[in-house]
DNA sequence: AAGTGTGAACAAGTTCACAGCC
DNA sequence: GGCTGTGAACTTGTTCACACTT
């Protein structure tokens, strides 16, 4: 077994990757851990340590080749292929997610949109049909997806997640405030703006108002 | 100076709080750290330790009064008052955020919606006027807000954030993929679905497909 | 001279385990 | 008897500092 890589390291890699792709587009050739860290608010040692889990990508005295490092991160993160994503729940939020232009350029193809509301199912968005959520499991059997995005009302979240998992989806991004359960082999992340706001108000409460 | 409370503890409190309010609504009287932890996937020791930073809310041999603990968390997190929120950028995502019914019930009032697009500014959403983004700073001077939610195109994110900070906003939720800078006295959180997906694909890449 | 890669030192965060109280 | 609150032990994650490479 190779040494175990901390999850917190994995979570930082997309951050590095995003900056590197920008630098790559700008034609920047080489960058040091110090400069990378400066841009991202991370210490240079942290960046070197994080990268050292995966290999030796830098050159002493020079730094990292932007192009090489971006490519290595693509391989590490599995971004050298396309991923099939289904979105379940096409309300206002699901609609915004489905139409978000940032996914496609990063290799995430939305291959299915589902809603249980009969007034919504059968309609289209961006020229793509919204399928009745009843078809979800059968559709996944016929053409599997890798990732599911859940934007249904909270009370249906667990059901939808169970269906996705039965259908072979191995990663789920849950936009619902409900905490859902999955088996250990499925990746799960929650996005809940209220939770973010509530941890911010803790600090606001402590800070004196800076305005006159 | 009181002992410093780790940020990671603060980030868990809204989770505890959400479960407690549900239990409170169900009329549950008392709960042990063990049972709380079971629901949330957190160890009982962790919950007790986290809460012990703020006081002694439990009773030995019994557990925690659901009502008391929910109330204490409200006070700790600053949820015993209402918070004024402005949303900047009323595209598809900003619209979904503005209309999200989950904010109001948790004490977050959306008191302003702004967009720089002249075709959008002046129109209404849920009966609320969308103001031209040019008015943002002046409006904040006249009637301050506590929190800003940014859902503009990435290239305008830093400008909008600077305007919000000048206007006295002390916490910012950035839905933009751009990493923005703020002074140390301003709270900042990023929500970027692509970053979440990219750290999940790392794991997907490693896991063998479980389907036939 | 500059900057990586990394073991070692340090810091932070989690879990243990048990005294104390209900 | 059951469960909290909490120092102490442990584990995990971060930073230091320097040998080494270009």
Model confidence at A2: pLDDT above 60: no
Distance CA B174, CA B177 (A): 8
Q: Given pLDDT bands bounded at 50, 70 and 90, which one contains residue B108?
A: very high
For chain B, give the mean pLDDT. Answer: 95
Model confidence at A1: pLDDT above 60: no
Model confidence at B211: pLDDT above 60: no
Asked, for residue B206, whether it belongs to a domain, the answer is: no
Instruction: Answer yes or no: are the C-beta atoms of B47 and B37 closer than 8 Å.
Output: yes
Integer CA distances (angstroms), B29 to A22, A104, A178, B44, B68, in order: 54, 49, 22, 18, 9
Asked, for residue A127, whether it belongs to a domain, the answer is: yes
pLDDT of residue A211: 40
- The DSSP bridge pattern shows strands A147-150 and A83-88 to be parallel
Q: Residue range B149-164: average pLDDT?
A: 98
A191 with B193: Cβ contact below 8 A: yes
Q: Given pLDDT bands bounded at 50, 70 and 90, which one contains residue A210?
A: very low
| Tokens matching residue B24 | 């409170």
Residues B157 and B176 placed together within one structural domain of the fold: yes
Residues B105 and B183 placed together within one structural domain of the fold: yes
- Tens-place pLDDT, residues A93-148: 999 999 999 999 999 999 999 999 999 999 999 999 999 999 999 999 999 999 99
Model confidence at A25: pLDDT above 70: yes
pLDDT of residue A209: 56
**Residue A113: how many other CB atoms lie within 10 Å:** 28
Between B66-77 and A193-206, two packed helices, what is the crossing angle to 10 degrees?
A: 70
- Decide which of B16, B50, B77 is a domain's last residue: B77
Q: Residue range B193-202: average pLDDT?
A: 98
Residues A63 and A87 placed together within one structural domain of the fold: no
Residues B89 and B189 placed together within one structural domain of the fold: yes
For residues A3 and A47, the model is more confident at: A47
- Number of domains comprising chain A: 2
Model confidence at A212: pLDDT above 60: no
Distance CA B102, CA B120 (A): 24
* Structural domain span for residue B27: 7-77
| Tokens matching residue A117 | 């509301």
User: Which secondary-structure segment (H or E) carries B88?
Assistant: strand B83-88
- Pick A78's closest partner by Cβ from B85, B168, B202: B202
Asked, for residue A189, whether it belongs to a domain, the answer is: yes
Residues A67 and A141 placed together within one structural domain of the fold: no
- Decide which of B31, B50, B77 is a domain's last residue: B77
pLDDT of residue B206: 84
Residues A40 and A141 placed together within one structural domain of the fold: no
Cα of B35 to nearest chain A Cα, Å:
15
- Tens-place pLDDT, residues A59-85: 999 999 999 999 999 999 999 999 999
- Tens-place pLDDT, residues A145-192: 999 999 999 999 999 999 999 999 999 999 999 999 999 999 999 999
pTM score of the predicted model: 0.95
Q: Residue range B95-111: average pLDDT?
A: 97
Q: Residue range B165-178: average pLDDT?
A: 98
Q: Which residues touch strand D (CB under 7 A)?
A: A 6-9, 42-43, 45-46, 48-49, 59-62; B 32-34, 44-45, 48-49, 51-52, 56-64
Nucleotide D9 C1' to residue B45 CA (A): 14
Q: Which residues of A touch B144 (CB under 8 A)?
A: 211
CATH number at residue A117: 3.40.50.720
Residues B47 and B125 placed together within one structural domain of the fold: no
Model confidence at A3: pLDDT above 90: no
Q: Given pLDDT bands bounded at 50, 70 and 90, which one contains residue A207?
A: confident
Nucleotide D21 C1' to residue B179 CA (A): 34
Asked, for residue A16, whether it belongs to a domain, the answer is: yes
Q: Residue range A39-58: average pLDDT?
A: 97
- Return the nearest residue to D5, CA–C1': B52
3-state secondary structure of B181: coil
CATH number at residue B26: 1.10.10.10
């Amino acid at each position: 077994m190779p040494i175990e890589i901390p999850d917190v390291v994995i979570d930082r890699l997309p951050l590095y990757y995003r900056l590197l792709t920008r630098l790559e587009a700008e034609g920047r050739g080489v960058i040091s851990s110090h400069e990378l860290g400066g841009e991202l608010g991370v210490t240079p040692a942290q960046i070197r340590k994080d990268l050292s889990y995966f290999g030796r990508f830098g050159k002493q005295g020079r730094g990292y080749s932007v192009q090489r490092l971006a490519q290595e991160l693509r391989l590490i993160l599995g971004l050298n292929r396309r991923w099939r994503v289904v979105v379940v729940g096409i309300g206002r939020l699901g609609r915004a997610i489905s139409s978000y232009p940032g996914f496609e350029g990063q290799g995430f193809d939305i291959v299915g949109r589902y809603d249980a509301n009969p007034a919504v199912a059968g309609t289209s968005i961006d020229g793509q049909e919204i399928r009745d959520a009843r078809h979800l499991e059968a559709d996944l059997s016929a053409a599997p997806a890798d990732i599911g995005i859940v934007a249904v009302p909270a009370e249906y979240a667990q059901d939808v997640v169970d269906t996705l998992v039965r259908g072979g989806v191995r990663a789920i991004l849950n936009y619902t405030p409900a905490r859902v359960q999955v088996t250990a082999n499925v990746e799960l992340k929650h996005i809940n703006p209220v939770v973010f706001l509530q941890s911010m108000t803790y600090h606001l409460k402590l800070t004196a108002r800076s305005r006159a």
